[in-house]
Amino acid sequence: MMLRSMMLAVAIGFGALPALPFGPTPALASEFTGRFLLETHDGKRVNDESFAGRIRLMAFGYTYCPDVCPTALSTMASALDLLGTKANQVVPLFVTVDPKRDTPAQLKDYMAAFGPRFIGLTGTVQMTDAAAKAFRVRYEIHPPEDGDPNHYVVDHSAGIFIMNRDGSFAAKLGYMADANEVAERLRQVMDGEKK
């Protein structure tokens, strides 16, 4: 619990000081910018500014989970349920890191399982790569074990991002976060704006 609150505190700090600590550190290949240019599952080209004015609840992943599937999108959907009408202020986004298989049609179908609010984002490999880098999400494509080029495995860093209405970073929650925690952080972001 303490560790979790500490990480949360640090994560908030990370958002508050975007440019300060990260510049000179060679281990950090890229800065967290939260920028992206992608296509929705309806084929519309969007960037981070397209959602200005709404809080974004974001996850990265892929629909072809080969062995186990994270329940992050279910958690996000339940968190929005918990918010009631306040959920209208939030746009849930899912960015694929596997655009080769996650075509707009595939994503659209998948998003439908989590509710009409969910928007799946894909693009060319360059576009999804750039988005993952901008959120410092790491992923690796593993070669197929059986020689079939469509049977590769993707590992990625899981978690749920909350971005402010202006697209800046608000929080990142771990993959074990439950719907109550996600809803609470969203409420905190909304309440923080009122002060």
Partner 1 sequence: MLDRRSFIAAALASALPWPAVAGKVAQGLFIAETPKPLTNVDIRDNQGQPAGIESWRGKPALVNLWASWCLPCVAELPALDRLKPIIEAEGLRVIALCLDRSGAVGAVNSYARLGIRNLAVHVDHQRQAGEAFGVAVLPTTLLLNEKAEEVARFVGGAAWDGPESLTLLRALIAGKKLETAMSPPLVRPTANP
Q: Which stretch binds partner 1 (CB under 8 A): 86-94, 106-114, 125-133, 186-194?
A: 106-114
* Spatial separation of the C-alpha atoms in residues 116 and 102, rounded to whole Å: 18
| Residue 79 or 91 having the CB closest to partner 1 | 79
Q: Considering only CA atoms, which of 87, 96, 33, 32 is closest in space to residue 59?
A: 96
Interacting residue with partner 1 among 50, 71, 103, 168 (CB under 8 A) = 71
- What six digits make up the tokens of 39? 């296509």
Tell whether the torsion through CA atoms of 168, 171, 177 and 182 is positive or negative: negative
Which residues between 135 and 174 bind partner 1 (CB under 8 A)? 136-140, 146, 148, 151, 153-159, 172, 174
Report which residue type is found at 49: E
Provide the mask over 20-59, with x wherever binding to partner 1 is found by CB under 8 A and - wherever it is not: xxx--x-xx---x---------------------------
Give the bridge partners for 156, in sequence order: 139
Q: Which stretch binds partner 1 (CB under 8 A): 41-49, 62-70, 123-131, 186-194?
A: 62-70
Tell whether the torsion through CA atoms of 93, 99, 102 and 104 is positive or negative: positive
**Minimal distance, residue 52 CB to partner 1, in Å:** 25
| Residue 146 or 191 having the CB closest to partner 1 | 146
Element housing 16 (H / E): helix 2-16
- Count of residues in contact with partner 1, rule CB under 8 A: 55
Task: Tell me: does residue 105 bind partner 1 (CB under 8 A).
Answer: no
Contact 61, 89 (CB under 8 A): no
Task: Tell me: does residue 67 bind partner 1 (CB under 8 A).
Answer: yes
Strands 119-122 and 90-96: parallel
* Spatial separation of the C-alpha atoms in residues 38 and 122, rounded to whole Å: 6
Interaction site with partner 1 (CB under 8 A): 6-7, 10-11, 13-14, 17, 20-22, 25, 27-28, 32, 61, 63-71, 74-75, 77-78, 81, 110, 113-115, 136-140, 146, 148, 151, 153-159, 172, 174-176, 178-180
